[in-house]
Amino acid sequence: MKYSGFNLALQSLFKHRGWQPAWRAAEPRKAYDVVIIGGGGHGLGAAFYLAKYHGITRVAVLEKSWLGGGNTARNTMTIRDNFIYPDSARFHREALKAWRGLSADVNFNVMLSERGMTTILMSDRDLSDARRMINTTAMFGAEHRIIGVDELRRRLPLMDNSERFPVVGGVDHPEVTVARHDAVAWGYARAASRLGVDIIENCEVTDIVLDANGVAGVETSRGRIETRKVGMAVSGHGTQVAAMADVTLPVETCPLQAFVSTPIKPVIDNVVVIRSLNTYFLQTDKGELVMGSVANPYPSFSQQGSSAIPERTLASILQLFPAFERLKFMRQWAGILDLTYDNSPIISKTSTPGFYVDVAGSGGFKTTPFAAKMHADLIAHDRPDPLIEPFSLDRFDTGRLILERASYGNR
């Protein structure tokens, strides 16, 4: 059933009892043309684009728990393209643009909201990096501009005006948007299911079956499934899943924490980044302040995090925004961050024929629609689109790394 104003009015006459389930709770078949491992935004998106653009509908999405229960629901929703390396700037520019038509594409409101982002610069090094970023991203159509201290203080009236800290200016990035992360997963799931994709929850992949020709199937907690193509779109446990296909990924896994305050009246209308302190925050529609900082400095698969990062984050924010001192925590969480050695994504074929990977690099929510579309194209045609060719696994052998400084704060 298509979501529309007409159907909403029609269902209201019947007390909304006629709505169909958003997606089918499918049982696994014996064989599929493609199996996608991971039921988050990237995996569900790849399945949707395989069905919509490539006519491949015998697709199964296997999720070991519930849809969107991993990193898709454990992020701060911010979508930006302030990256410095040309290949990375081009990729993230396309990723930001891909969000704009997503709600119409999947017939589901992902609550996209253009907020803008204000970055506070506190040193000449920050200013130099900002100018380099602006000059690079301008070549690909991104909009940034340097703003002076006076304009920065007008935009952020709660920022401390005591001159205790060497604020030298800021960067205005008006195109930064936020989206409702669980709505992204639900929208893709619903749209893919309508096109015939089987979405199978509580189905853990325990092994990838190989033969002389490459991938032959997957072993799962619900039995064996035969397939010649497997797309991996998991976050955090990618190294373990890839190892099942005899593929080693150059990835280190660390928790990345965020937390929210109790709700307050609207005080900011954009995302605020304190560049030198690697800290950011924004205010949700419900009034909560969402705050985050760097990744935990140790490898772990835990989604708990530690107290050190929230303490550091709060201390950094309060240096410039002491008005938030009396706010209280409401909840905290940690996603699992896949850190590649150059802080850039991997969307690539592998040495095992029929096994394809989508690894988010320094944080994957902001790239969801574009990365999923490119992953689907790669699986369908067994060759990378020119836009993702630089993000191949081969770059770690050839040395053509994409050393993205805009994500170094996570290290």
Q: What would the pLDDT profile of 80-95 be if each residue is shown by its tens digit?
A: 988 888 899 999 999 9
End-to-end Cα separation, the chain, in angstroms: 46
How far, in Å, CA of 266 to CA of 250, rounded?
A: 42
As a whole number of angstroms, the distance between CA 358 and CA 46 comes to 10
Residue 335: helix, strand or coil by DSSP?
strand
Task: Name the residue with higher pLDDT: 330 or 305.
Answer: 330
Q: At residue 361, does pLDDT exceed 80?
A: no
Q: pLDDT digit string (tens) for 330-349?
A: 888 888 888 898 889 999 99
Query: How is 46-95 classified by DSSP, letter by letter?
Result: HHHHHHHHH----EEEE-SSSTT-SGGGSS--EE-----SHHHHHHHHHH
**In the predicted model, is pLDDT for residue 138 greater than 60?**
yes
For the chain, give the number of residues: 411
Distance, in Å, from the CA atom of 120 to the CA atom of 114, rounded to the nearest integer, reads 19
Q: Does pLDDT of 104 surpass 70?
A: yes
Mean per-residue pLDDT, 171-177: 95
Q: What tokens appear for 40 in the block?
A: 């988050």
- Are 39 and 199 in contact by the 8 Å Cβ rule? The answer is yes
pLDDT band at residue 68 using 50, 70 and 90 as cut-offs: confident
Which stretch of DSSP H or E encloses residue 9? helix 5-12
Burial 146-164 (b: 16+ CB within 10 A, else e): bbeeeebbebbeebbeeee
Domains of the chain and CATH, by start: 11-77+181-249+342-410 (3.50.50.60), 112-176+252-340 (3.30.9.10)
Sheet-wide strand order for 205-211: 205-211, 214-220, 223-226
pTM strictly above 0.85: yes
How far, in Å, CA of 203 to CA of 65, rounded? 7
Q: Which of 273, 256, 281 is nearest to 365 (CA)?
A: 256
Give every CB contact of residue 181 below 8 A, 6+ residues apart in sequence.
Answer: 41, 68, 72, 73, 75, 77, 365
Does position 409 have pLDDT exceeding 60, yes or no? Answer: no
**Percentage of the chain with pLDDT > 90?**
69
The answer to whether residues 164 and 122 touch, using CB atoms and an 8 Å cutoff, is: no
User: Exposure pattern of 22-31 as b/e (b: 16+ CB <10 Å)?
Assistant: bbbebebeee
Cβ contact 244:205 at 8 Å: yes
Cα 59 from chain centroid (whole Å): 22
DSSP state of 31: B
Of the candidates 1, 64, 73, 18, which has an alpha carbon nearest to the alpha carbon of residue 41? 73
Q: How far apart are CA 87 and CA 345, in angstroms?
A: 11
3-class secondary-structure state, position 328? coil
For residues 230-237, give the mean pLDDT: 92
Q: Counting beta carbons within 10 angstroms of the beta carbon of residue 284, is it exposed (0 to 12), middle (13 to 18) or buried (19 or more)? A: middle
